[in-house]
């Protein structure tokens, strides 16, 4: 029997057990410090050197690069290793799905990666760790070593477009999957949130695992409010065993 294609759309909530705070939850970053949004808004970042300096200090303090995958990330990777076709579409930039064992080519990072930097001038990419080492050494706003341009995290900032190739692949997976699991996402940020609608429109079973209600709960075949670290592994175990989620 052909195994179902499982698409997993993951949001910030899947990584909170790894010590990475979410953004829009009750204790989320944007609720605690609305000014922080400026630090990841392209227009402010490019036009204001002080915003860039504050952004680099925020990156230094961000523990995402030190975080490790948790039980939920590992459960997704284990399902893939068991022989069930799995594709991850993630709104996260922490790279934890890959660290948990998901093959990189099966993970679509809609919002880019915080583990790299990119030059806004020439497009040169490099490890975030190297750029942060320069900040630690006393450069408050390290420039591109190739062209002298402005460096930024290789993430999609507010005001930037998603990579159309990555988004196109995410749409294709959403249309083709048998089961679409949205986990730890508020499903409020588009176009990522709309993928749940696309999957349901094309006949996928829609399962939402999230602590708070989402705009797509009414469309879901199943809504799970239990803690992600225990609920997702159990859900995926059932899927791997051939049981309906």
pLDDT at 26: 46
DSSP symbol at 104: G
pLDDT at 89: 98
The C-alpha atoms of residue 223 and residue 29 are separated, in whole angstroms, by 25
Q: Is residue 111 flagged as an active site residue? A: yes
Residues of the chain with pLDDT under 50: 25-26, 30
pTM for this model (two decimals):
0.89
Residue pointed to by tokens 């591109």: 144
Measured at the CA of 101, the angle between CA 230 and CA 93, to 5 degrees, comes to: 80
Q: What is the pLDDT of residues 150-173, one digit of tens each?
A: 999 999 999 999 999 999 999 999
Question: Which of 97, 105, 111, 190 is flagged as catalytic?
Answer: 111
pLDDT at 54: 93
Q: Are 187 and 196 in contact (CB under 8 A)?
A: yes
pLDDT at 33: 62
Residue pointed to by tokens 């523990």: 63
pLDDT at 58: 87
The C-alpha atoms of residue 183 and residue 210 are separated, in whole angstroms, by 6
Q: Are 10 and 186 in contact (CB under 8 A)?
A: no
- The domains of the chain, with CATH numbers, are 1-20+68-111+160-245 (3.40.50.1220), 22-62+114-155 (3.30.1600.10)
């Amino acid at each position: 029997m052909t195994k179902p294609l499982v698409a997993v759309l993951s949001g910030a909530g899947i990584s909170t057990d790894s010590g990475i705070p979410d953004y829009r939850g009750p204790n989320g970053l944007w609720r605690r410090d609305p000014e922080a949004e400026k630090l990841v808004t392209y227009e402010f970042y490019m036009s204001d050197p002080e915003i860039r300096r504050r952004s680099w200090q925020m990156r230094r303090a961000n523990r995402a690069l030190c975080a490790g995958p948790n039980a939920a990330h590992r459960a997704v990777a284990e399902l893939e290793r068991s022989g069930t076709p799995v594709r991850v579409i993630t709104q996260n930039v922490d790279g934890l799905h890959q660290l948990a064992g998901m093959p990189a080519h099966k993970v679509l990072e809609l919002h880019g990666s915080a583990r790299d930097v990119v030059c806004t001038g020439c497009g040169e990419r490099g490890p975030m760790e190297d750029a942060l080492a320069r900040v630690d050494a006393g450069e408050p706003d390290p420039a591109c070593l190739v062209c002298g341009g402005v460096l930024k995290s290789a993430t999609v900032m507010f005001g930037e477009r998603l990579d159309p190739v990555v988004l196109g692949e995410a749409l294709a997976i959403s249309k083709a999957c048998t089961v679409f699991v949205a986990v730890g996402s508020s499903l409020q940020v588009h176009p990522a949130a709309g993928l749940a609608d696309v999957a349901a429109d094309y006949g996928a079973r829609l399962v939402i695992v999230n602590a708070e209600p989402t705009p797509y709960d009414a469309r879901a075949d199943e809504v799970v409010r239990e803690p992600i670290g225990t609920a997702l592994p159990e859900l995926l175990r059932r899927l791997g065993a051939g049981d309906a989620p």
